[in-house]
């Protein structure tokens, strides 16, 4: 009997080739990451557990991405102080301050590579599976224990194979794939499961597109999401393919279920307010009014996403009175966007551009919504109150839909905006 991708990665780490779904396995992650917002709680738990040092500080990465710049001085400054304590007292030397969103930097800088197990204190850690890395989120108590012992229990997940055929049409994106998937599975359909993507359609996707899909797989409850390693993976990480070509789906592996999608037939999709899994074909939302458009986040803040938005906005102006906030996901993306002229295009179109950070997606002060306001966002969640007032409404879409809608002032399909 063959193995699923998640089983292969756990076997590599644990050395136990007899594992099966439901087994509890002790693993020693290759990397662990924590964030500024959880720093006070991690420090508190380290103290309660009597850990005065981290066992392997060289495995740890610390990110200051949610709270830069400060939004609430007393609360946020305390969190940053505790993050610095993790750096100075506990010895986490790899610290990223203001370089961008953690989930982008983790693969951008190679902290999360193919074949690794990476654990972090954030639910969207599933992102790194786009590069063949088993990555998942935990709480701050578990993180303190992991930092002190270099061990964590993992229950081997059941797996769902997602077979992608064909290629995406113009104006249809990876975000539409994952929105369709989340809409089909619903918010709990992938609960504690590994979503594993294969097929010619999966291999046709760029690395950025794979990371978008794995990022939002969490919204179906997934424990992790994984793409097979191929020549694109090897090129992205500048490593030989023969070192990672074992990260492939075994034809005789046992999957809980198999889902098939023909990318040639896929249309733009949108998640309606107050439900990540309330997903519809774009035709079901065309003409709905909006007050704001947000483009960014660890889901859709890549240079490919910036390129899509720049092409749609070039030489045009956004609708009167509409607010548009664009946040590149990292300094690398920001600098490249400047070099290519995208930032100038955004500003000439009437958008506001902010420095790389989580920003509005995490509810920090970059255009928060007021009562009754409606936004289209390229982020991964539209929970009530996440982006401002509990009386606001958020649609989730691709960058193409968001940019086109910013020009129209209402939700539109991208092809209706002349390029």
DSSP states of 346-371: HHHHT-EE--SS-GGGGT-SSSPBPT
For 390-407, write each residue's pLDDT tens digit: 999 999 999 999 999 999
Nearest 10 degrees: Cα torsion 14, 20, 21, 22 = -80
Question: Among all chains, which residue has been given the structure tokens 């499961």?
Answer: 193
340 contacts: CB under 8 Å, gap ≥ 6: 306, 307, 310
3-state helix, strand, coil in the chain (%, to 5): 40, 20, 40
Residue of 13, 237, 218, 210 lying closest to 107 (CA atoms): 237
pLDDT band, residue 363 (cuts 50/70/90): confident
What is the per-residue pLDDT for 354? 92
pLDDT band, residue 417 (cuts 50/70/90): confident
For 275-308, write each residue's pLDDT tens digit: 999 999 999 999 999 999 999 999 999 999 999 9
What is the per-residue pLDDT for 407? 98
In the predicted model, is pLDDT for residue 234 greater than 80? yes
pLDDT band, residue 359 (cuts 50/70/90): confident
Question: Among all chains, which residue has been given the structure tokens 């809608």?
Answer: 405
The beta strand positions in 231-356, using DSSP E, are 257-262, 269-271, 279-281, 292-295, 323-326, 352-353
Distances from the Cα of 380 to the Cαs of 176, 212, 216, 309, 394, in angstroms?
A: 12, 9, 6, 18, 11
pLDDT band, residue 418 (cuts 50/70/90): low
Do the domains 159-265 and 271-413 sit in the same CATH topology, yes or no?
A: no
pLDDT band, residue 3 (cuts 50/70/90): very high
Q: Rounded to whole angstroms, how far apart are CA atoms 96 and 39?
A: 14
Mean pLDDT of all residues in 361-386: 90
Mean pLDDT of all residues in 161-184: 97
Please state, for a pLDDT cut of 90, what percent of the chain lies above it: 89
In the predicted model, is pLDDT for residue 419 greater than 70? no
In the predicted model, is pLDDT for residue 236 greater than 90? yes
Please state, for a pLDDT cut of 70, what percent of the chain lies above it: 99
- DSSP code per residue over 174-224: HHHHHHHHHHHH-TTTTTTEEEEEESHHHHHS-HHHHHHHHHHHGGGT-SE
CATH class of 5-11+22-154: alpha beta
What is the per-residue pLDDT for 242? 97
The residues that bridge with 415 in the sheet, in sequence order, are: none
In the predicted model, is pLDDT for residue 127 greater than 90? yes
Residue 72, both tokens = 């609430």
Sketch the domain layout of the chain as residue ranges: 5-11+22-154, 159-265, 271-413
Contacts of 335-344 with CB under 8 Å at 24 or more apart are: 336/303, 336/306, 337/303, 337/306, 337/310, 340/306, 340/307, 340/310, 341/310, 342/306, 342/307, 342/309, 342/310
For 82, the enclosing helix (H) or strand (E) is helix 73-88
For 53-79, write each residue's pLDDT tens digit: 999 999 999 999 888 777 666 678 888
175 contacts: CB under 8 Å, gap ≥ 6: 212, 216, 299, 300, 378, 397, 398, 399
Residue 133, both tokens = 């890395």
Mean pLDDT of all residues in 346-375: 90
Mean pLDDT of all residues in 170-180: 97
Residues constituting the chain: 419
Report the CATH number of the 159-265 domain: 3.40.1060.10
Helices 331-340 and 342-349 cross at an angle (nearest 10°) of 80
Mean pLDDT of all residues in 23-51: 97
pTM (predicted TM-score) = 0.97
Compute the radius of gyration of the chain from its Cα atoms. 21
For 317-335, write each residue's pLDDT tens digit: 999 999 999 999 999 999 9
Q: Rounded to whole angstroms, how far apart are CA atoms 130 and 323?
A: 32
The CATH fold assigned to 271-413 is Aconitase; domain 3 (3.30.499)
Side-chain-facing half-sphere of 399: CA atoms under 13 Å = 28
């Amino acid at each position: 009997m063959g193995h699923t991708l998640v089983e292969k990665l756990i076997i590599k780490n644990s050395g136990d080739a007899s594992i099966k779904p439901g087994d509890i396995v002790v693993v020693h992650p290759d990397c662990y990451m924590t964030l500024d917002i959880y720093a006070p709680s991690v420090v508190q738990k380290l103290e309660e557990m009597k850990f005065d040092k981290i066992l392997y500080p060289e495995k740890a990465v610390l990110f200051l991405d949610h709270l830069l710049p400060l939004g609430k001085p007393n609360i946020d400054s305390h969190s940053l102080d505790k993050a610095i304590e993790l750096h100075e007292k506990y010895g986490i030397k790899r610290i990223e301050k203001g370089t961008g969103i953690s989930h982008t930097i983790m693969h951008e800088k190679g902290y999360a590579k193919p074949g690794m197990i990476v654990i972090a204190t954030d639910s969207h850690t599933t992102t790194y599976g786009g590069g063949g890395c088993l990555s998942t989120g935990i709480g701050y108590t578990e993180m303190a224990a992991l930092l002190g012992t270099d061990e964590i229990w993992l229950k081997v997940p059941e797996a769902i194979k997602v077979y992608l055929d064909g290629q995406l049409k113009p104006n249809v994106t990876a975000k539409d794939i994952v929105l369709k998937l989340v809409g089909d599975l619903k918010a709990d359909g992938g609960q504690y499961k590994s979503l594993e993507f294969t097929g010619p359609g999966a291999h046709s996707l760029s690395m950025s597109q794979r990371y978008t899909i794995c990022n939002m797989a969490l919204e179906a409850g997934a424990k992790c999401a994984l793409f097979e390693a191929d020549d694109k993976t090897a090129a992205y990480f500048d490593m030989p393919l023969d070192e990672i070509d074992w990260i492939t789906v075994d034809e005789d592996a046992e999957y809980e279920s198999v889902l098939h999608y023909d990318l040639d037939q896929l249309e733009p999709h949108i998640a309606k307010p107050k439900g990540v899994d309330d997903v519809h074909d774009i035709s079901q939302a065309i003409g709905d009014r909006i007050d704001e458009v947000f483009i960014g986040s660890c889901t859709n803040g890549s240079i490919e996403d910036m390129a899509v938005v720049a092409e749609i906005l070039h030489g045009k102006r956004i609708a009167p009175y509409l607010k548009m906030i664009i946040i590149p996901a990292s300094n690398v993306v920001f600098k490249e966007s400047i070099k290519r002229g995208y930032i100038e295009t955004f500003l000439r179109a009437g958008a506001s551009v902010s420095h790389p950070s989580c920003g509005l997606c995490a509810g920090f002060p970059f255009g928060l919504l007021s009562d009754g306001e409606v936004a289209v966002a390229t982020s991964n969640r539209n929970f009530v109150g996440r982006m401002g007032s509990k009386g606001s409404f958020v649609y989730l879409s691709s960058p193409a839909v968001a940019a086109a809608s910013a020009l129209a002032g209402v939700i539109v399909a991208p092809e209706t905006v002349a390029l």
